[in-house]
Amino acid sequence: MAFTGNFMCTSFKLQLLTGTHAFTTTVTRGSTAADTFKIALYTSSATLDASTTAYSATNETSGTGYTAAGNTLASAATSSSGTTAFVDFADSSWTTASFTARGALIYNSTQSNKSVVVLDFGSDKTVSAGTFTIVFPAADATNAIIRLA
């Protein structure tokens, strides 16, 4: 088992300080478009942790209904509560799917596939001729997947 927990990638933390990622529209970098964030699924053979710096197809999930590089995440919304800032995405689904995944990587495909967050599902999750859905928790200062306190 190569997944050992959920991690905000260290490289992502540094890139936040240099203005690399734009979750919503921005003019800071001379662009008015938000970056594209994706979620890719991985098998238990994948080695992903806080040191992961970019998306890789190595040990990525494969099967019916899954396309390499994963899904584009929709509706990135940033907010804050108290002293915590956070981002939320719409849930992401693969329909008519048959595959097994142990975890996932959220990454920024606009910025050379830079990694953001590693998600460990805790065990293999399998779908057989059904819908596989990543349900993001409530977007608040306590539960959001990506939050800075």
In a domain, 126, yes or no: yes
- Compute CA distances 116 → 45, 91, 111, 128, 146, whole Å: 20, 17, 11, 29, 9
Handedness of CA 53, 54, 60, 66 (dihedral sign): positive
Q: What is the pLDDT of residue 49?
A: 93
Which of helix, strand or coil describes residue 13? helix
Residue 127 has pLDDT above 70, yes or no: yes
Q: What is the pLDDT of residue 92?
A: 97
In a domain, 122, yes or no: yes
Total domain count for the chain? 1
In a domain, 133, yes or no: yes
Q: Which long-range contacts (C-beta less than 8 Å, at least 24 apart) are formed by 122-129?
A: 124/44, 124/100, 125/100, 125/101, 126/99, 126/100, 127/65, 127/94, 127/97, 127/98, 127/99, 127/100, 128/98, 129/64, 129/96, 129/97, 129/98
In a domain, 108, yes or no: yes
Please give the average per-residue pLDDT across 84-104, as a whole number: 95
In a domain, 2, yes or no: no
Residue 17 has pLDDT above 60, yes or no: no
pLDDT tens per residue across span 23-56: 877 655 566 678 899 999 999 999 999 999 999 9
Handedness of CA 3, 132, 63, 73 (dihedral sign): negative
pLDDT tens per residue across span 47-84: 999 999 999 999 999 999 999 999 999 988 888 888 88
In a domain, 96, yes or no: yes
In a domain, 1, yes or no: no
Please give the average per-residue pLDDT across 83-91, as a whole number: 90
Residue 20 has pLDDT above 50, yes or no: yes
Residue 130 has pLDDT above 60, yes or no: yes
In a domain, 51, yes or no: yes
Residue ranges making up the domain that contains 119: 7-23+34-148
